[in-house]
Structure 1
Amino acid sequence: MDPVQLSIFANRLAGICDEMGALLRASALSPNIKDRLDFSCAIFDAAGGLCAQAAHIPVHLGSMAYAMADLVEGRDWRPGDLLVVNDPYLGGTHLPDVTVVAPVFAGERLAAFTVTRAHHANIGAHSPGSMPVSKTLDEEGLVIAPQWLKREGDWQLPLSRRLAGLGEGDTLPLDVPRFADFAAQASACEAGARRLAALIGERGLEALRASLDALNTYGERRMRQRLADLADGEYRFSDVMDDDGQGRFDIPLVVTLRVQGDGAELDFTGTADQVSIAPPVRK
C-alpha cells in the first residue's frame, strides 16, 4: 500500500478513537472520567483483533487487545446492539472498569467493533469510590457478565435499572448519576461506529481489511527492525510490589528478555505466584 495513503488511513482510525474519547469525557458526569481521564477507546475488527486505539490508559488497552476475541465470538450481533461487561475473568480488569462494545456493519455484514472502557465511581462496593481492599471479587462490587446493555437500539431496562440503582418499573432518566456514565459510553461507542461505517462506505469493506493487513505488516516490520538493533543476549530486571493489601509484602516481579536477531522472548520465571483470592460468585 502507498505509504502516504497508509499513514492517512492509520490517522483516520486513530482520529475516530480520539473523537470517541472526547465525546465520552464531555458527556460523562463522574470526575473519574471527566477530570481524571480514566477511560480508553479503541477499534477492533470483526474477529476481535485490535485495529486502532487512542493514547489513553495502557492497562485498559493492553488487556482489551486480548479480551475482545472471546467477547465477540459466537454472539448474534445486530445493528444497534451494545454489550457491557466488567468481569475480570471474562474480559475485564477490576470491577470499576466497565467495557461497552458496539458492532459496526457494512450493509448486513459485521465489519468491526468500537469499544470504550471507563472507570465508574460507584460499582456497588461497601466503601466510597468502589476501591475497597477486598479479599474476594464480590467484595469489590457488582460483577457484570457479558450481556446486552442495548439490543437493536433499545435499552435493556432490567439491567439498566439495576446499574442505575433504580427499582423495578422505575423510569430510566439517562442523567441518573449512577447511570450517566454508561449512557456516555454508549454515546461514544455509537458515534465511533457511525464514523467507522462512513469510512467503510468510502473505501469498501475489502479495502478496509486490506488496509488493516498493510498496517499490521508495517507495525510488525518496524518492531522487528527495532529488536534487530538490540544486541543479542539476555537482559534481566527485577522489582517488588510493596503490598497486596492483605499483609503480604515485597511481592517479586522478575522478567528476563532474550533477544535473538529480530525476535525476542519474555520469561517471567521468578515472579511471585498469584496472590490469594477466592473464586467469584456469578450473578
Structure 2
Amino acid sequence: MNNTVTPISLEIFRSTLTAVAEEMGVVLTRSSYSPNIKERRDFSCAIFDARGRLIAQAAHIPVHLGAMPDSVAAAIDSFDTFAPGDIIALNDPFLGGSHLPDITLIAPMFVQIGDEAHLIGFAANRAHHADVGGMSAGSMPVATEVYQEGVIIPPVKLWETGQPNNALLTLILRNVRTPDERRGDLAAQVAANRTATRRMQEIVDRWGLSMLDAHVDELIAYAERITRSTIEEIPDGIYRFTDYLDDDGTNDEPVPITVTITVRGSTLLVDFTGSSPQVRGNVNTVASVAKSASYYAVRCLMPDDAPMNHGTFAPVTVIAPQGTVVNARPPAGVAQGNVETSQRITDVL
C-alpha cells in the first residue's frame, strides 16, 4: 500500500486515532462501578507508540494527560519484555504517577500480522479511585508523607500473558476500604485498554503497519509545527511571576510558586526555580504534574483542532528543581498537590 501522507489522509488518521482514545473512555464510563469514574468521569485515556510517544488522547483530564507519558516511560523502563495480554498497573507518584488515588493501567498493544505478533504501542488510562487505603477514607488526607495516603503501587504486571495476577490483586484489595468497587473499576480499566488493542488491530488490518507508522510520525511533526508557530506569536523575552498557596495544611505560612518563562523564537523554557522548598503538608507535587500544567497552558494558546501528542511537548522545556513544592522528593505527601497545587501552577503560568 502507498505510504504517502496527504493532508486528507493525515486528518483521517488523526480522527481515527482520537476516536480510539474516546472509545476507551466510553467503555470505562459504562463499565466502571464507582460514581467517581462513572458519573464524575475523573479519568483519562490515551494511546502511545512503541517508543512511548503520545500519539492520541481523548479530551479528558489535563493533569492526567500531560503526566501519562511519564507513566508509560516508567513501565517501559521497568520491564525488559512485554507479551500480548500484559497489563501494567502503577500509582507511585515518584515513578510516573500523580497521586495515589490515580491508578494507571498500561497495556502493550500487539497486533497480529501473519503468524507474528508485533508490538505497535501502548494503551493507557488513568482513573481516580474513590479509596486506595491510607489514614482516612477517600485517600485524600492532610498527610505529611506519602505512606499515609494509601497503598503505593510501583510498575507491576497486574495481568501477564492474558492471565490476572490474583495474588497481587488480592494484596491491593486487602489494603483498601471498598475492595469490590475497586475490583470493578480495575476491570473496567482493563476493558478500556483491550478495546484500544482491538481497534488498533482493525486499523492495521485496513491500512497496514507501515501506513500507520508514517502517519504517526507526521502527526507528531505536525503538532510540533503548530506548537512552534503558536510560540512564535509571543514576543521574545523573559517573563516572571510568583503566586502563593495560602498554606500547606499544617501551618499558616504561604507557599510561593515562582516561574520564569523564556521565549526564544519557537521554543519555550518554563523554569520553576525560586519556588518554595517542599513542605511538610501534602500540597507538594511531582515533576510530571508541573509538566502537565505547563503543557496545558501552552495548549490553551493553540487552535482548538490542533492535535495533542508528543510533538506538542517538543518545543517546551520544563525545569522543576528537585526538593521543591513542584518536584518533591519522596516520601513527601502529594495527594492534595495534584488537585490544589496543579491549579495554582496553572494560574502562575
Deviations 1:50-80 (A, max 9, x none): 1111111111111112332231234321111
Residue matched to 1:85 = 90
Correspondence 1:1-283 to 2 at 5 A: 1-73=5-77, 74-107=79-112, 108-165=117-174, 176-247=180-251, 249-276=253-280, 279-280=330-331
Identity %: 44
SS at match of 2:67: helix
Deviations 1:1-48 (A, max 9, x none): 211111110111111111101110111111111121110000011121
Per-residue deviation, 1:165:
3.1
Per-residue deviation, 1:193:
1.2
User: Is the deviation greater in 22-31 or in 271-280?
Assistant: 271-280
Distance in 2, matches of 1:116 and 1:36, equals 16
SS at match of 1:103: strand
Decide whether the 8 Å contact of 1:83 with 1:102 is kept in 2.
yes
Distance in 2, matches of 1:242 and 1:30, equals 32
CA RMSD of aligned residues (A): 1.9
Residue matched to 1:170 = none
Query: Which amino acid letter does the alignment assign opposite residue 64 of structure 1?
Result: M
Distance in 2, matches of 1:92 and 1:278, equals 13
Query: Which amino acid letter does the alignment assign opposite residue 29 of structure 2?
Result: R
Residue matched to 2:339 = none
Number of corresponding residues: 273
Distance in 2, matches of 1:206 and 1:248, equals 58
User: Is the deviation greater in 43-52 or in 69-78?
Assistant: 69-78
Query: Which amino acid letter does the alignment assign opposite residue 194 of structure 2?
Result: E
User: Is the deviation greater in 62-71 or in 270-279?
Assistant: 270-279
Higher relative contact order (CA 8 A, sep 6+): 2
Distance in 2, matches of 1:53 and 1:46, equals 16
Query: Which amino acid letter does the alignment assign opposite residue 9 of structure 1?
Result: F
Deviations 1:150-180 (A, max 9, x none): 11111111112223339xxxxxxxx922311
* Cα distance change, pair 248–85 in 1 and its aligned pair in 2 (3 A): farther
Residue matched to 1:172 = none
Unaligned runs of 5+ in 2: 281-327, 333-349
Query: Which amino acid letter does the alignment assign opposite residue 76 of structure 1?
Result: T
Query: Which amino acid letter does the alignment assign opposite residue 77 of structure 1?
Result: F
Query: Which amino acid letter does the alignment assign opposite residue 111 of structure 2?
Result: A
* Cα distance change, pair 279–222 in 1 and its aligned pair in 2 (3 A): closer
TM-score (norm 1): 0.91
Off by >6 Å, runs of 4+ in structure 1: none
Query: Which amino acid letter does the alignment assign opposite residue 94 of structure 1?
Result: H
User: Is the deviation greater in 153-162 or in 240-249?
Assistant: 240-249
Distance in 2, matches of 1:227 and 1:126, equals 44
Query: Which amino acid letter does the alignment assign opposite residue 262 of structure 1?
Result: S
TM-score (norm 2): 0.74
